[in-house]
Structure 1
Amino acid sequence: MKHLIVYAHPRTNSFNHVILDTAVNTLKKNGHDVVVRDLYELGFQPVLTAADIASMRKGVIPEDIKNEQLYITEADVIIFISPIWWTGLPAILKGYVDRVFAKGFAYASGEEGIVKLLKGKKGLIINTHGAPKEVYNQIGMTDGLKITSDTGIFDFTGIEAIDHLLFGSVPDVNDAARNQMLQTVEQTIQTHFA
């Protein structure tokens, strides 16, 4: 299978980067093709501009958007790896979705409503956050994050959301807890993509 990992964290020594390495190594060990799009490393421009909209309405896709859409088209699986900041996606990843998951590419409007154009693909999301997991569960934030990403992005475009891992208290836990999180990443990938 071909996997596209869209990764969003500015620090190369972050725990998110260790998660990325774990995911890539596990997938490659299982014989999968993996492409990583590190949005910060690429300097991806996340702001959907008036010029972008006008161009796309004319059927002319800006080159940087067209390039990312090609990676999505070729992928069987799309994986997002990022922290949760202010209970949402980092701006660079939200901007990636705004610009790349465009109408006419990821979805369309038909007589019967929304047409999902990315059917047949699978999606996995791996997020970290600083708040304790129990707090996010208790206030409904875990469910809210799953609705906005799994349903609002993946399902809306036809991507089957197969799992969503959310790891809490990441800045405050010890190495043993982080290692357990990495084992969960590895086991989840093994379960879905052995």
Structure 2
Amino acid sequence: MNNLIIFAHPNPNSFCKGIVDRVIKTSEENSANVKVRDLYKLGFDSILKPSDFEDLQKGKVSEDIREEQENIKWADVITFVYPVWWAAFPAILKGYIDRVFSYGFAYKHEDGQANGLLKGKKVILICTTGSPSEAYAESGMHNSMKQVADAGIFKFCGIEDVRHTFFGAVPYVSDEMRENYLMAASSVVKECLASNKSTV
């Protein structure tokens, strides 16, 4: 079992990094192979450029995109860990999706229908917010973010099993609550890996 972790937070001492560490530990304890792509540490170029479209039309892929697509191919489970900024992905992560989940790799159109090409994979999204989860849930924002990310991106690409977890008010909660969050992250990963084992 292969778990690819996509990490998008600029602070290496953030709580998100603590989540990444726990996801690594849980994955390894459940006999999964792990790779981490720390987008800020890598200096990933998140800008979709005209040359990307030109390469796509010529059937070519730039080396930085090719490397990430090979990682996606390798993965059985893709775990995204990131903070919610302005009710969405950080720009670097949105740019990663724009460039890496490209036409012909993640999806294509056949007979006027969109066909997802990443079938059989699973996605976990673990994201932190500064505001309490109750505020996001009551306003409908959690559902909106799930619709955009889960349905609009990953299910569109053929990934049916998408698990989305929000941890709210991270800067303000107690250390005990943060440990509860880490335990919850561990549980999601463990359950996902276990269900994957039963299908392969």
Superposition map of 1:131-142 within 5 A: 131-142=131-142
CA distance in 2, matches of 1:134, 1:177: 15
Q: Deviations over 1:26-63 (max 9, x none)?
A: 00011100111000010000000011111111111010
Structure 1 range deviating more: 95-104 or 170-179: 170-179
Alignment TM-score, normalising by the size of structure 1: 0.98
Q: Does 1:151 align with 2:180?
A: no
Corresponding position of 2:197: none
Residues 2 and 77, structure 1, Cα contact 8 Å, conserved in 2 = yes
Structure 1 range deviating more: 94-103 or 159-168: 159-168
Q: Deviations over 1:129-182 (max 9, x none)?
A: 111101100110000111111111110101123311101101111101101101
When the two chains are superposed, the root-mean-square deviation of aligned CA atoms in Å is 0.9
Structure 1 range deviating more: 13-22 or 161-170: 161-170
Residues 3 and 78, structure 1, Cα contact 8 Å, conserved in 2 = yes
Residues 56 and 62, structure 1, Cα contact 8 Å, conserved in 2 = no
Corresponding position of 1:4: 4
Q: Does 1:180 align with 2:180?
A: yes
Corresponding position of 1:191: 191
Q: Could you tell me how far 1:112 is from its partner in structure 2?
A: 4.2
Corresponding position of 1:126: 126
Residues 108 and 114, structure 1, Cα contact 8 Å, conserved in 2 = yes
Report sequence identity in percent: 45
SS at match of 1:172: coil
List runs of 5+ in structure 2 lacking aligned partners.
Answer: 195-200
What letter corresponds to residue 132 of structure 1 in structure 2? P
Moved over 2 A (4+): none
Residues 125 and 164, structure 2, Cα contact 8 Å, conserved in 1 = yes
SS at match of 2:130: coil
Corresponding position of 1:163: 163
Q: Could you tell me how far 1:191 is from its partner in structure 2?
A: 2.0
What letter corresponds to residue 141 of structure 2 in structure 1? M
